[in-house]
Structure 1
Amino acid sequence: MLPTWLTAAYLQPRLRAYCQDDRLQVLRIWAKPATGKGENFVGVMTRIYVDYQLGDGSVVNKTYIVKQALSAEVPQAEVFFEYELYTREMDMYEFILPKLKELLQEAGLDQKLTADAITVDREYNTMILEDLAPYKFVNADRVKQLDMAHTELTLEMLAKFHAASIVLQERHPNLLTKCFYTHFFSRDKKAYSVVFAGLFKAFLRFIDGQPNLKEAYGDKLHKLRTHIMEYGARAYDVGESDLKTLNHGDCWTTNIMFQYDDAGEPRSVVAIDFQFSNCTSPTIDLHYFFTTSLREEVGDKESELVEHHYKALKANLEKFSYKGSLPTLQEYRLQFERRRFMSLLAHMFKPCMIYNGSEETSDFSSLYAESPEGLRYQKSVYASEAVIRSATKLLAILDAKGLLELQ
């Protein structure tokens, strides 16, 4: 359904500005949902179809993505408003991403980074974005996860984004306003502590139902339960010697889109969904991406992947003639290692990210609430060999590094 305010009269001046054509005439608009049930918990996505005539008389048929904030009456909306997710994403598309695009072009790095914004409308909490489907950008399979080719390409895209943001911080520090220093674990916010408490309880119910995992890690995990928000906050804390960038903040399979060559190999990649973007160590993006999105055999090459990202970051900064300090590879690895607890917190989302069952939900609270629907959904997403294998491997690594002990 089209929002009632989204008329030809509304869209026409905005398309004229975007297309730089004062005689452009919108002829017709119609719509379809852009995502399926349960694919997007944070907003409402609609694909609109627009026929318009250019000043030269030619008629164009285009599609755009309309991204609206949830209505304030929706229960989960309260969480998203407290963390300024909608303000932040509108700031990203209106101010930050165009500036990053400009900086990248200046450095000769002009491959597409994301979709352009046609308009950002704060009155309606809405953005109208370029549709990436006509460029043949598609999502990879979130259940199968990413192979090495997709992973390396994504790391190169993140390195470009991180490098441009370092230069942005240097040249336009005022653009990164207060909302970019807010994250899941911000100590002055409350709503996500309820979310993570529920996610962790769901994880503990799963552990308690796996005799081997319960015996090996149950006691330690139950003791950790009340500390996870503080340990998460410490992972996001950035010391003076740490590299700090703007992060994507939610880099996983569904928020990355690929273009393929004729042989079916990925040749370019863009990121979408920037509502969680924040300023912290770029290694937070890496932990989240590695934990949620990689095939097992790719994740096993973690050391090589960290190096791949670091070298791409360094090469991009050289293209910017960046003169600031950059950690050595060894220092960067230590910065990554100090944030390893993030992999446990990212794993709380993984069961629903790779879920392939029939228990659908469009309610974000089903991921963590102890309601009948929530408990049923959580039990279903955890009943997976892939999740058991993934949790077993992760807990063994964290335990060996002493990260399941109280810090």
Structure 2
Amino acid sequence: MLPNWLTEEYLQPRLRTYYKDDQLKVLKVWSKPATEKGQNYMSTMIRIHVDFQKSDGLVQKKTYIVKEALAENIPQAAIFIEYDVYNREMDMYEFVLPKMKELLEEAGLKGKLTADTIVVDREHSTMILEDLAQYNYVNADRVKQLDLEHTKLTLKMLAKFHAASVILRQRHPELISKSLFTHFFSRDKKGYTEVYTGVFRALLRFVNGQPDLKENYGDKLEKLLNFVMEYGARVFDVSERDLQTLNHGDCWTTNIMFQYDDAGSPQTAVAIDFQFSNITSPAIDLHYFFTVSLREEVQEMESILVDSYYHDLRENLEKLSYKGIFPSIEEFRLQFECRRFMCLLSHLFKPVIIYNGSEVTSDFSSVYKETEEGLRFQKSIYDSEIVIRSTRRLLAILNGKGVLDLQ
């Protein structure tokens, strides 16, 4: 449903500014939902169709994505407000991403980074963005997860995004808002404590329901429960010796879009949705992406993928004329490995991310609360062959590395 304030009269001056055409005239606006029920817990998204006439007399038909913050009376909205996710994303689209795009283009690093921003309207907590579907960008299948080809493209995109952010911090520190130093495990925030302890308990219930998993990992996970937020905070902690970038912060399949050639091969990747972008080690983005979005056979290539990302990042920074300290490949591998706990934190959301069952909920709290609906939904998302297999695989790896032991 189109918000009552989103009229032809509202859009016309804003589209005139975007298209640099003072004679542009909006003729018609109508809308359709941009996501299905249960696919987006963070915001309301609609696709608007706009017919407009430009100064040359030609009528164009375009679509745009309108992304609006959840109403404050919706239960999960309080958490998102505490972590300033809406202002953060508006800052990203209004100030940060356009400047990163400019820096990349100046260095000859062409290609789309994300959707262009048409309007950032803070009064309505709303953004109007370019609709990437118009350019044949689509999401890959979140249930099937990504093959090697899609993975490599995504890592190249991340290496470009991260490199641009390093230069941005050096040249335009005024664009780095306080919210970009906030993350799920920020020690001065409490809202995500309930979320992460809730999804951790869901993992525990699953593990305790499998006799062999309970025997091998049950006690260790039970002890870890009380430390999940502190260990999460340590993962995000960085020192002067660590490589620091602006991370996407929520890099998984649905937040990446691909363009394909006529043969169906992916050619380019762009990122969308920047509510959780934050400044920390780029290893956080990599661990999260690898854990929840890659097929198992691609996860097996982790060390090769990390090295490939590292070389792309270094090459991009050279093109951007970066003069600062940069870690050796051995140092970067160590920075990546010491954040291995991020794999467990990421995996806590994997069951819902790749869920393809019949239980549908539009209430984010069902993912972590022990209500009747919540427990039913959590049981359902763990009742999946791929979730069971990937949980077994991950726990064995983490246990072998000592990650499940108290630190």
TM-score class, shorter: over 0.9
Q: Normalising by structure 2, what TM-score?
A: 1.00
Correspondences of 1:298-337 after superposition (within 5 Å): 298-337=298-337
Write out per-residue CA displacement over residues 290-314 of structure 1, whole angstroms, 9 at most, x where no aligned residue: 0000000000110001001101101
Correspondences of 1:340-379 after superposition (within 5 Å): 340-379=340-379
Structure 1 residue 121: deviation in Å?
0.3
User: Does residue 94 of the first structure (1) align with residue 94 of the second (2)?
Assistant: yes
Amino acid at match of 2:107: A
Amino acid at match of 1:116: D
Q: Distance in 1 between matches of 2:38 and 2:176?
A: 31
User: Does residue 158 of the first structure (1) align with residue 143 of the second (2)?
Assistant: no
Amino acid at match of 1:17: T
Aligned twin of 2:203: 203
Q: Distance in 1 between matches of 2:78 and 2:294?
A: 31
Aligned twin of 1:271: 271
Aligned twin of 2:253: 253
Identity of aligned residues (%): 68
Correspondences of 1:163-242 after superposition (within 5 Å): 163-242=163-242
Consecutive unaligned residues in structure 1, runs of 5 or more = none
Write out per-residue CA displacement over residues 113-150 of structure 1, whole angstroms, 9 at most, x where no aligned residue: 00001000000000000000010000000000000000
Write out per-residue CA displacement over residues 293-344 of structure 1, whole angstroms, 9 at most, x where no aligned residue: 0000000110001001101101101111211111011100000001000000
Runs of 4+ in 1 over 3 A off after TM superposition: none
Q: Distance in 2 between matches of 1:343 and 1:73?
A: 33
Aligned twin of 2:383: 383
Amino acid at match of 1:288: Y
Q: Distance in 2 between matches of 1:261 and 1:59?
A: 29
Structure 1 residue 403: deviation in Å?
1.0
Structure 1 residue 210: deviation in Å?
1.0
Structure 1 residue 381: deviation in Å?
0.2
Aligned twin of 1:138: 138
Structure 1 residue 173: deviation in Å?
1.1
Q: Distance in 1 between matches of 2:343 and 2:228?
A: 12
Aligned twin of 1:79: 79
Aligned pair count reads 407
Q: Distance in 2 between matches of 1:144 and 1:198?
A: 26
Q: Distance in 2 between matches of 1:341 and 1:124?
A: 38
Q: Distance in 2 between matches of 1:215 and 1:174?
A: 52
SS in 2 for 1:269: strand
Q: Distance in 1 between matches of 2:356 and 2:233?
A: 31
SS in 2 for 1:227: helix
SS in 2 for 1:12: helix
Q: Distance in 2 between matches of 1:359 and 1:314?
A: 44
Aligned twin of 1:54: 54
Structure 1 residue 67: deviation in Å?
0.1
SS in 1 for 2:394: helix
SS in 1 for 2:52: strand
Q: What is the aligned-residue RMSD (CA, Å)? A: 0.5
Correspondences of 1:108-147 after superposition (within 5 Å): 108-147=108-147
SS in 1 for 2:141: coil
Q: Distance in 1 between matches of 2:323 and 2:91?
A: 28
SS in 1 for 2:317: helix
Q: Distance in 2 between matches of 1:22 and 1:62?
A: 18
Q: Distance in 2 between matches of 1:199 and 1:63?
A: 37
SS in 2 for 1:45: strand
Q: Distance in 1 between matches of 2:49 and 2:181?
A: 36
Q: Distance in 1 between matches of 2:55 and 2:375?
A: 57
User: Does residue 5 of the first structure (1) align with residue 5 of the second (2)?
Assistant: yes
SS in 1 for 2:157: helix
Q: Distance in 1 between matches of 2:295 and 2:333?
A: 21
Write out per-residue CA displacement over residues 149-206 of structure 1, whole angstroms, 9 at most, x where no aligned residue: 0000000000000000000011011211110000000000000001001110111001
Q: Distance in 1 between matches of 2:256 and 2:211?
A: 36
Amino acid at match of 2:31: A
Amino acid at match of 2:285: D
Structure 1 residue 207: deviation in Å?
0.6
Structure 1 residue 111: deviation in Å?
0.1
Amino acid at match of 1:298: V
Amino acid at match of 1:158: L
Aligned twin of 1:401: 401
Q: Which piece of structure 1 moves more, 182-191 or 395-404?
A: 395-404
SS in 1 for 2:111: coil
Consecutive unaligned residues in structure 2, runs of 5 or more = none
Write out per-residue CA displacement over residues 334-361 of structure 1, whole angstroms, 9 at most, x where no aligned residue: 0000100000000011001111101011
